[in-house]
Structure 1
Amino acid sequence: MRHTWRWFGPVDKVTVRDAAQAGAQGIVSALHHIPTGEVWPVAEIEKRHAEIREGGLVWDVVESVPVSEDIKTRKGEWRAHIANWQETLRRLSASGIRTVCYNFMPVLDWTRTDLRWETRHGARAMRFDLPDFAAFDIHILKRPEAAADYPEWLADEAARRFAAMADDRITALGRNIGAGLPGSADGYSLDELLEKLRSYQGIDRETLRQNLVDFLSEVTPVAEEAGINICAHGDDPPWPLLGLPRILSTEADYAHMLAQVDSRASGVTLCTGSLGARPDNDLPSIATRFADRIHFVHLRNVTRETDTVPCSFFEDEHLEGGTDMVAVIAALLAEEARRREEGRADHAIPMRPDHGQDILDDLARGAQPGYPAIGRLKGLAELRGIERTLLHHRYGLV
């Protein structure tokens, strides 16, 4: 696999040179400062390439070109936004980019109640606490009919949690849950979030699925022509939130998407952490089934506190948690070998150590939540060790 590292641009407290010293071979980045829906300017694309080259690496993957809410709902300026997304693909291709990640989560991207939760050994990790999330939905956001979306025991527990919450915890929940895409300046106040939720009235799961298929039907031919692989990131967490449907949460969801737009150019960002928050997602099996359409990989692990859907979970160390990381990596290496035999130019699958716990000097660095320097370095080293072992000429299993 090609070992990559997410970098949020010059504002990132972890530099490209840090990534190179950690063992990364390439960078995953995006132009977070360009408003969603607009075409990425050529000059800004080239500037980001130059910034990364100056640090000693190259820009391998774009994560992400955001898909606007207008596109997801097919309202407002959706036609112009699709045209702009297509043009951005062309410009990225002309600059040498061959892999573009995106997601189709409505309103919120990855969602956590805690961004720096203390683990058993003092590290800091991201966490999704289900009762706290329900307390936010019902009592802080005050979404109409929210209580009806939760079982009685959970609504009761949410009420108890809220009654005991200090003001600073209430503020933190609103900030954490309403945050925008990682690295972006976007975010929602409570009133803005309620307004965004109202824009999805009348859009159920089947409608949103069809909107994804329609979007891919329009952008995939451009990706094919441009020589770019576009790859959908799964829902995080992988279940409905705030009354909104989520449509890339299971193996069956991905199978539907890939069958409806059956082109190698439209594929999967395999995120073992997002899908791994559900006990019914078998990650090694998913990696094997969709191997030919996996264009980008996020390797991380979560520990579920219950085997229910939904559940509370936290971001564990890369080789802990519920996902068999050795089996996942073995499946990916087997696919790379198959691609090499076919002579495919995209035989090396870009992988990055996703998220990570704040450890050691990370605790004082204040980097983007989930993206510390040392925690990711540790994760990359562990994952690279598995890969080297599986490929060793004497002990190799693939």
Structure 2
Amino acid sequence: MSQSTQHAPQHRAPGVIESDVIVIGGGLVGTAVAYGLTREGADTVVLDQGDDAFRASRGNFGLVWVQGKGHDLPDYSRWTRSSATRWPGFAEALMADSGVDVQLRQPGGFHMCFSDEEMLERQSRLQTLQDALGDYPFQMLDAADLKARLPLIGPTVVGASYTPQDGHVNPLKLLRALHTSAQNKGARFYNGVQVDRLDGSAGEFCVSAGSQRFVAPRVVLAAGLGNPGLARQVGLHAPVAPNRGQVLVSERVRPFLDHPTINVRQTDEGTVQLGDSMEEVGFDDNTSTHVLEAIARRGVATFPLLRDVRLIRAWAALRVMSPDGFPIYQQSATHPGAFVVTCHSGVTLAAAHALRIAPWVMGGAMPDELGVFAGERFLTDKVFSHAH
């Protein structure tokens, strides 16, 4: 475990707040890293924009999802699986540190297919991953096999893929558990903070937010859609953009679904969530009728019993997407101590962010999988440089 940095005596302006690390961003990504930093013994400050932010965390579908990810970039699959395997212990640690049960259920998950062509494409994708990674268990189930596992499946579903590491959590309870755990271990949260400037010219990082000043030798940029402008100030490249996802929620119904699927999951409380849409609509986080209708139709086709279930709520949220859909993880070569951490799978990757990113920030080795995730891959002349 890393020790807290001892701040050298300096003449500070009154009111300057010092710490070992500043985390900019109080969503799932930032708080997971912050929690991990407190576990490393770091004096951690978290700056959160608050409810005015386009927060993906509160609109998250809640999946801990492995299957199919990274078929064209095996290191992403490795990274995802490394997080999923850590999730049971991570959930226990959060319960111990916060008293909040995040309702992790990890029985494996299903991806439904509605045509023979979809089945073939799905098998090819998962077989590619198994060939690349070796240890990558999956099953392809035909309609009869699937109905034996999920008796209420619809007749238009021709089959499904199944992988055993998939699961789901309550994302709102996860966010609360991360906040509470980090605070209980000493993290200081400052809410309603709009960062105006990030200056790393003096060998440390000074974050200006209105009249407030925060200083630390390390800074983590986990501000989601706010990361591009912050990254530029410390020699990093984080060209992320919004991608809208919409979710429907039903009334409570009797338990019928013990496994999460890519587009339908039943919560511990009995409600059913339906989702899996992707739209490039800029910063518009409103719902749209035609997309919600498509989500509902697919949900009913998957489980016909949902036809008679009342829908009670709908929402939209903006994912944080890089041009290729993969995360951006990097320490600045020009401003060592500045890290960018951005992705769109904040639930799945929360365990890796807390347990593997945080030690790296505190001076440990960069995780082996992360070499391919530098922001320079989006530049025309792809020159990768890592300070680690």
Q: Which structure carries more helix by proportion?
A: 1
Q: Which structure carries more strand by proportion?
A: 2
Instruction: State the TM-score, normalizing by the size of structure 2.
Output: 0.27
Larger Rg: 2
Greater relative contact order, per chain length (Cα 8 Å cut-off, separation 6+): 2
Instruction: State the TM-score, normalizing by the size of structure 1.
Output: 0.26
